Amino acid sequence: MWQYTTNQKKAIAMGFVFRLEDYPNYLRRVGEAIYLDVSRRTDPARIEQVWVNLRAVVEAFGAPWIVQLWTKDAATALKRGGALLQVLQREGTTVTAQVTVTGLGGTTWEPRVPAEPFAGVAELIALVGGPDHIKWRYDPIIPTVHRLDRFRRLAEHAARLGIRRCVLNFIARPGRYKRVDARLAGVLPGWAAGMPGYDESWQVHTASELVQAASEYGLTVAVCAEVAGLADKVQGLHPAACGDYAWFVALSGRDPGRAATSGSRPGCGCAAYFDVGMYGQWHRCHGCLYCYAG
């Protein structure tokens, strides 16, 4: 029989590792509001097991209300899982996607992410039923690496695809994740010294610029839970819920009744979700330098 390590047992206790046997409890909690994330924990474009897990859930328990894809490589995600997503759609599932594009694909920051921004997103839009099903994540914003002109080019590209929603997130501060600190200390000047100047006023200034730039391309901008407080300080910036219940209801045309949840972290407004992925895949995933999920 498979033996879990102490760390894996801790991760399981916290609900951070997919186990099919946890799914019935989730179903009891949420009723008809069944929403699967594929996956916040690793990229299904790189890790086939995520699709195997999704298939196992569907075969055992049927199609959920919502499946939300998370990827930095839509083209490869579709190759791996497009057929399964189509089956789910035929069975009544609404599919949405959080597509992360930072413009750093193929660089030392995201070495295995495709260099071509938004590759495969047009095909993804066609599969899911339109650009309204897609949110573009500009995540994470890294001080001294982020460039407004790069963001503008990406915003223009997203708008051409018909995408209207952008979600921002800032890199977690130095000291938050030891493994990230160890990677960044050697490549990002100032990181080891606490990244002087990387404070809330810089975030407010940066977010304000991005809201303004995005609006020129017809994009609304929301900010993820990590820095949700910024939404009160930046005009036009909205609080994001990555598992956005109201968005799911609007897209599916169905309100199954929202289940109570505490969210994934303080400030998180996400609907109760079940993630079919697992942490600890950094070496097989895109190898992003800022990754804390590895």
The answer to whether 288 contacts ligand SF4 (rule: CB under 6 A) is yes
165 sits in which H/E element: strand 165-170
The answer to whether 95 contacts ligand SF4 (rule: CB under 6 A) is no
The answer to whether 293 contacts ligand SF4 (rule: CB under 6 A) is yes
Buried (b) or exposed (e) across 56-87, using 16+ Cβ within 10 A? Answer: ebbeeeebbbbbbbbbbbbbbbbebbbeebee
Single out the residue of 72, 135, 165, 183 in contact with ligand SF4 (rule: CB under 6 A): 72
The contact pattern for ligand SF4, residues 39-58, with x = CB under 6 A and - = no contact, is ---xx---------------
By CB under 6 A, the count of residues binding ligand SF4 is 11
Buried (b) or exposed (e) across 207-244, using 16+ Cβ within 10 A? Answer: bbebbebbeebebebbbbbbbbebbeebeebebbbbbb
Cβ 289 to ligand SF4, closest distance in Å?
9
> What three-state secondary structure class fits 220?
strand
Q: Which stretch binds ligand SF4 (CB under 6 A): 61-69, 121-129, 193-201, 280-288?
A: 280-288
| Paired tokens of 77 | 């995600």
Q: Is 154 left (phi over 0), alpha (psi -120 to 50) or beta?
A: alpha
Cβ 265 to ligand SF4, closest distance in Å?
16
The answer to whether 282 contacts ligand SF4 (rule: CB under 6 A) is yes
The answer to whether 263 contacts ligand SF4 (rule: CB under 6 A) is no
The answer to whether 294 contacts ligand SF4 (rule: CB under 6 A) is yes
DSSP β-bridge partners for residue 230: none
The answer to whether 117 contacts ligand SF4 (rule: CB under 6 A) is no
Taking the C-alpha atoms of residue 22 and residue 173, their distance in angstroms, rounded to an integer, is 33
Q: Which stretch binds ligand SF4 (CB under 6 A): 8-16, 161-169, 213-221, 285-293?
A: 285-293
